[in-house]
Amino acid sequence: MKKRIAVLISGSGSNLQAIIDAINDKSINGEIVVVISNRADAYGLSRAKQANIATKVLQHTDYQNRIDFDQALLKTIDHYQAELVVLAGFMRILSAEFVNHFADKMLNIHPSLLPKYKGLTTHQRAIDAGDKLHGCSVHFVTAQLDDGPIALQTIVAIAADESAASLQKKVHVTEHIAYPKVVAWYCDERLKCIENKLYLDSELLSETGFKLSF
């Protein structure tokens, strides 16, 4: 059975595109049942339409507070009977109630080697710290921002003359490999999140997940 996936975006949706492509070439045993954006101008909505995927715009500015917005979001996802929620550049902090509703069923991608550099400007912070390595993390979502058990990390080298923009580009390319891979594991029921621990093919993953070096 194909897993029903809801993808939440706010912007370009290049990670969404990578997942659409992986579904089309049958690397992911799932289907995207809806793409939801909190911004009407998100380019990812065009990508979804192009792929004949249902889209919804829920603008957070139309709601009085976070709880009301999250409630509307939750109802929309449940309406589509999604079994997996994929946050792909979704730039809203989600309430604990929302996160708990989708416990062990919601993934996020973050452009740093977590637990380093939660939040924004991750690439600049890695350069400023003099780090030699950087990358992205695909993790299950818990109520704490950019926290939660890590399924996979990609690792890239930071060059001596690296700029935040060049590093972002480098990491972004690896995101498009990492995210479809983890979604595929989940859809094949190879990856399980049990009591905040991750198991891949029934083996406990390390705290920082499976590694892909580039």
Sign of CA dihedral 194, 195, 197, 203: negative
Q: Which of 66, 125, 172, 192 binds ligand GRF (CB under 6 A)?
A: 172
Q: Which of 101, 110, 123, 176 is catalytic?
A: 110
What's the rounded Cα separation, in Å, for the pair 90 and 9?
A: 4
Q: Is 13 in the site for ligand GRF (CB under 6 A)?
A: yes
Among the listed residues 3, 5, 6, 15, the single contact to ligand GRF using CB under 6 A = 15
110 catalytic? Reply is yes
Question: Which of 22, 23, 77, 88 touches ligand GRF by CB under 6 A?
Answer: 88
Q: Which of 19, 36, 89, 151 binds ligand GRF (CB under 6 A)?
A: 89
Distance, CA of 56 to CA of 118 (rounded, Å) = 28
Q: Report the C-alpha gap between 212 and 214 in whole angstroms.
A: 7
> Is residue 154 involved in binding ligand GRF (CB under 6 A)?
no
Torsion 97-100-105-107 (CA) sign: positive
Distance of alpha carbon 106 from alpha carbon 115, whole angstroms: 18
Instruction: Between 91 and 192, name the residue whose CB sits nearer to ligand GRF.
Output: 91
- Minimal distance in Å, beta carbon 18 to ligand GRF? 8
The span from the CA of 180 to the CA of 7, in Å, is 12
The residue with tokens 């972002």 is 168
- CB of residue 97 to ligand GRF, shortest distance in Å: 22
Residues from 18 through 57 that contact ligand GRF (CB under 6 A): none
- What are the tokens at 138? 């695909």
Binding map of ligand GRF across residues 103-132, x = CB under 6 A, - = no contact: ------xxx---------------------
- Give dist(CA 94, CA 66) in Å, integer: 8
169 residue type, one letter = K
CB of 5 to ligand GRF, least distance (A): 15
In angstroms, the first-to-last Cα distance of the chain is: 33
Of 13 and 209, nearer to ligand GRF (C-beta) is 13
Binding site for ligand GRF (CB under 6 A): 11-15, 88-89, 109-111, 136, 172, 175
Active site residues: 110
